[in-house]
Every structure is written in C-alpha cells, then in structure tokens.
Structure 1
Amino acid sequence: MNRELSLPKNISVIAAEELEGCFISLETLNIHEAVHDIRKRLKKLRALARLVRDEMGEENYKEINIYFRDLGREISDFRDLTAHIETLNVLEERYGSYLYVNFFNPIITQLDKERDHMEKELRAKNFFSEYLPEKLKYAQDDLVKWPVNSNEIQVILPGIQRVYKRGQKGLNKSYKDPKTENFHEWRKRVKYLWYQTLLLQETWPQFFETLEAEIHQLADYLGNDHDLMVLKKKLNSEDIKLKDPQHLELMNAIIERYSNILRTEAKTKGELIYVETPEEFTKRIGSYTEINWN
C-alpha cells in the first residue's frame, strides 16, 4: 500500500493493477505462464477483499470473493497439468540420480499430450482470446470500485485477525489429522496471510519484508506438498498408464518421502509464525501500520 494514498484509493488502485496485470500476462507470456500468473493475481484479489471484508460488508465481500474464486477454478485443471510436469521436474532433479534413466519420461510425455489436447479444446472455444478477457473486463469495470470509505488503517485488522486465527487452527488440525484436505485448507490460509503482509510492506518495509519472507517460505513448503498430493492423485487415477506396477509403487514412495520432508519443515516454520494469539498478532500489526499510515 502506498502511504501517500488514502485507504480507499489504495484498495481500488491495487485491484486495478492486479486486473491489468492479468491482461498483460495474456498478451506477453506463453499461455502456461499466463494462466499461472492470472491464478496468482486472482488469489491476491481475494486476499485484498479479505483485508477490508468488515468495512465493505458481507454481501459485497461474497460477491467479489465468489466471482474471483469461480474464475480461478475455470483455469485450474489446465494449470494443474503444468504443475504436475513442474513437480516431476523437481522430483527428477532431487531423486533422479538414484533411479534408472528416463524414469520420469513416460509420465511427463502423457501429461504433455493431455495438456496439449486441453489447450486445443480451450482455444477452439476462444477461451483465452474472448471468454477469459471478457470475464476480466467485467471485473475491471464493475468489481474494482469496492465500497471502502474509511481511511482508518485499523479497519483492516478484523480481516487480518480472522485470517491469522484460521491459519493457526489449520496448523493444529493438519498435524493432529494429517489428511491431504487439512493441509490444503491450511495452505490457503497461509497464502492469504502472505498476500496481506505483501500489501502492508510499505507501512514499515524492514519489518514486513522479514515477516513476508517467513510466511512466503511456509507457503512454498505447503504449496509444494499440495502439488505432490495432487500429482499422486493423478498418477493413481486411470488417466496415467504405466506398464510396470512397480513404477507407480516407486513414484508413490518418492512422493511420500518428499512430502514428509516438506511437512516437517512446514511444522517448524508454522509454529514460529503462529506462536502468538490472534489478538496479540493483530495488535502488533495494527501498531506497526498505524504509526506510519499517512
């Protein structure tokens, strides 16, 4: 946030910049990079809405959040295929020297073909050239004038406290009951907190840059673990055909090994980030932001 601008102006400027960034990505990046960037920007917009949720009112918040959530879901299957390939490349770099040559190639080849096929289908429907730009244009015209009127920085604190509290609950639930869906929910809460600290960086760069870096690292651990679990589900579906059952068995073992490493790292980092009560964390953030606000 720009300290020289009012809070309402900051909100509208940030929302407009994120949507403009979506159009720039479609025009300048290859389609796989563009879809990845757009999904990140849609999540940032949802995090921004959470920041001023109480100020804008629940009805307005839900309209904005649901619109960007649903738009993100429309490109998630296409993005997942690229994420599968990227995850396999990470596993190959990490464990490839212990395996036979071309161990990962049959899987990557099948995913490449499926992704190419999906891209052709989407392009035949003018998804990237017409449908997606139209959906973004609607958001640009009608969803950036958010009803935020107060210039008091304190109006963001309930949103921060809610996100932090849910993240803290997500941490505890994930390690008490380590199901994939629990880690997935915790990951989302961590990402919202990360985006919110990014938005607040300018109010005290030295503090918020350090906090942002720590939360970003945790988000990466959980994001990589999530990618592993989604890949595992894909490998064990009927979409992927492997001639040797031991190939799948070894893939599952590799995924579980790396997942355990990531979850151990995430636990340590998470316990440090969520060591405070939500009230203590919010009070501290409120003090730091208010001193430097306008």
Structure 2
Amino acid sequence: MAYCFTPEETVPQGVRRIALEQIDKAEAALTGGAQSGGRERHKAVHDARKGCKKIRALLRLARGGLGNAYVRENGFFRDAQRRLSAVRDASVMVETLDKLVGRQGSDGAGGFVQVRGVLVERCERASAEHLEQERTTEEVAGMLREVRGRVETWTLRSPGFKVLRPGLHKVYRDGARRLEALGDAPTAHDFHDWRKQAKYLSYHLRLLTPVWPGTVRALAGEFGELGSLLGDEHDLAVLCCMLEAEEQAFGGPVLVRPLAGMIDRRRSELQAASRMLGARLYLDKPKTFMTRMEAWWDLWKSEPVSRAA
C-alpha cells in the first residue's frame, strides 16, 4: 500500500502497517539489489536508507502516542541507517560533482576529471570495505528482521489525530524557527538542521495526503522540494570541505580553487532559493497550521468517501 494512512484504519493500525511495509521494502533491497554490483548495489543501499528515514519520520509523527518506544525505535532505525551511510555518502560526492559541473555544460565538465577520479576511487573503496568485507547489508537486513517482531507490540495511546498532533506540531514549529534563526550569516550546519525538519515535514504530509489529496500532496511536494534544495546545499558544503582539507589529493590549488569558487556560487543560489520558498511554506503560525490540518483530518474521517486527487 501507499505511504499514507487510510480511512478504514485507526492511527495505531496505520502506524504499524506503514512501518512493516517500509521494513519489508528495505530488507528486500538489502537482500536483493545490494548483493549485485556497481550502480544496482548503490541504488539498493539508497533505497534501504530511504526506508529507514521514512520509518523515522513516521515515528516522529506518532511520538505523542508511542511513549518510551519512540526513543528506542528511533535510535534503532537511526543506527541501521548509519551502518549504510559510508557507501551512500561516498557515492553522493560523485553525484554532487557531476551535477555541479553539468550546469557548466561541455566547457566546464572536462576540467575536473582528476577530481572525479579520486571521488570514484573512494566510492569504490568504501563499497568494498563496508559492503563486502564487513557484510554490512546482511547485518542490517538481520536488524530489520529483528525489529519487525516488535512493531506488532507498539501500543499507541489514542486511535485518532491526538496521537499525531504533538509530532506534527513540533516538526512544523522547529522548521519555522530554524528558518527565522538563519539571520545574515548562517553556517552550513544551520541550513542542514533546517533541511532535516523540512524533510520530516514532507514525509508527514505524505502520510496525511488522503485528508485532502490534491492540496496536501502539493504541499508535501513543496516541502520535498525545499528539502532537496537544502540537501544539494549541504552536499556541496561537504564536498567543498573535503576538497579544501585535502587539496593536494584532488590535484592541488589549480583544480581545487576554481571548483571551490563554483561551489560557493551555487551554494549562494541554493540558499537564496531555499529562503524564498521557505518564507512561503512557513507563512502560517504553527497553531494556524495545526488547526487547519486537524480540521481536514476530522472532515476526512467523518466522510470516508473516495476523493479525486
């Protein structure tokens, strides 16, 4: 089924069902595509990590009813996600460079072949070390099988929107606060913290899409776009830090400094675009946002009929 609640189930039923579906998809990726090589392996690891992120977003949304189970399970899926991070992080650096130089057209792409070669070699080494030698995918798949049995025991304190209200309110409020706190001289860490809240909210809205499909789906997409802009900004910041810390390994200043300049310019563009989009998306006060979402939920539950998107 889709990554969202359905009208015929209570919130606890939906939370357990969605978690189990994502666990099964992540495990299938790790026991299938992750055993292949090259691009298929990296896609499988990406899919498994994404499944863990979606479960953590679900847990955050339902945290108001999970009690102590929230801390335990959020930590569990965070650890599973991190076990796969080394390979994914290395491949992201290659993708980030490709995306950046691709914006320059044929004139800019050829000058950074050496830099790309170093990044690719590191990606292949990370893949060998963390997926082959350490049997990481098999171990994480085992972790997912282990947690599957616990999901059925999750007990939420209310069957309705009351369970979701604290988590949804916190993620929207924290995202708005992080935007407001950026100020005139924000750091890469400031933008990264904001990105996490935007991504969680995009997942929350996807889970709530059925309450008014066209409107909430569009809003989820906008917050997803904000998360993507901020994600690109973060990846470029990490790449620049790596290049400057190991300048000689990447070909020396003659290659690194022009590339760092390109990165700075692109990061400035992404930061400006993110602020503009964020100002629109966080226009409502948290209380207003929550009042609207709860009213839509109540209407949806009172008339559980098919709605066109």
> Is the structural similarity TM-score above 0.5?
yes
Deviation at 1:74, TM superposition (A): 1.9
Query: Is 2:234 the counterpart of 1:226?
Result: yes
Aligned to 1:13: 17
- One of 108, 119, 125 as aligned partner of 2:127: 119
Aligned to 2:45: 35
Whole-Å separation in 2 of the counterparts to 1:79 and 1:17: 22
Q: Is the 8 A contact 1:194 1:216 kept in 2?
A: yes
Deviation at 1:149, TM superposition (A): 4.3
For residues 92-139 of structure 1, give each alpha carbon's deviation from its aligned partner in whole angstroms, at most 9, with x where no partner exists: 21014443x6222112211111121222222122222x2111111112
Residues 110 and 285 (structure 1), Cα distance of their counterparts in 2 relative to 1, 3 Å cut: same
For residues 210-231 of structure 1, give each alpha carbon's deviation from its aligned partner in whole angstroms, at most 9, with x where no partner exists: 1111111111111111111111
Q: Is the 8 A contact 1:25 1:37 kept in 2?
A: yes
Whole-Å separation in 1 of the counterparts to 2:59 and 2:230: 23
What does residue range 170-249 of structure 1 map to in structure 2 within 5 Å? 170-238=178-246, 241-249=249-257
Aligned to 1:65: 74
Aligned to 1:24: 28
Whole-Å separation in 2 of the counterparts to 1:184 and 1:240: 28
Instruction: Please give the root-mean-square deviation of Cα atoms over the aligned residues, in Å.
Output: 1.7
Task: Tell me the amino acid that sits aligned with residue 88 of structure 1.
Answer: L
Residues 241 and 209 (structure 1), Cα distance of their counterparts in 2 relative to 1, 3 Å cut: same
Residues 175 and 36 (structure 1), Cα distance of their counterparts in 2 relative to 1, 3 Å cut: farther
Whole-Å separation in 2 of the counterparts to 1:118 and 1:193: 31
Most deviating of 273-282 and 132-141: 132-141
Task: Tell me the amino acid that sits aligned with residue 136 of structure 2.
Answer: F
Task: Tell me the amino acid that sits aligned with residue 2 of structure 1.
Answer: T
For residues 9-40 of structure 1, give each alpha carbon's deviation from its aligned partner in whole angstroms, at most 9, with x where no partner exists: 10011000111110222213622111111222
Q: Is the 8 A contact 1:15 1:144 kept in 2?
A: no
- One of 53, 59, 66 as aligned partner of 1:56: 66
Whole-Å separation in 2 of the counterparts to 1:66 and 1:156: 19
| Same amino acid, percent of matched pairs | 30
Relative contact order higher in (CA < 8 Å, ≥ 6 apart): 1
Deviation at 1:239, TM superposition (A): 8.2
Runs of 5+ unmatched residues, structure 1:
none
What does residue range 104-143 of structure 1 map to in structure 2 within 5 Å? 104-122=112-130, 123-128=132-137, 130-143=138-151
Deviation at 1:253, TM superposition (A): 0.5
Query: Is 2:297 the counterpart of 1:289?
Result: yes
Residues 155 and 232 (structure 1), Cα distance of their counterparts in 2 relative to 1, 3 Å cut: same
Deviation at 1:144, TM superposition (A): 5.2
Q: Is the 8 A contact 1:85 1:108 kept in 2?
A: yes
Aligned to 2:99: 90
The SS at the match of 2:284 is coil
Most deviating of 242-251 and 43-52: 242-251
Number of residue equivalences: 291
Whole-Å separation in 2 of the counterparts to 1:246 and 1:150: 62
Residues 253 and 163 (structure 1), Cα distance of their counterparts in 2 relative to 1, 3 Å cut: same
Whole-Å separation in 1 of the counterparts to 2:247 and 2:213: 47
Q: Is the 8 A contact 1:167 1:186 kept in 2?
A: yes
Q: Is the 8 A contact 1:154 1:286 kept in 2?
A: no
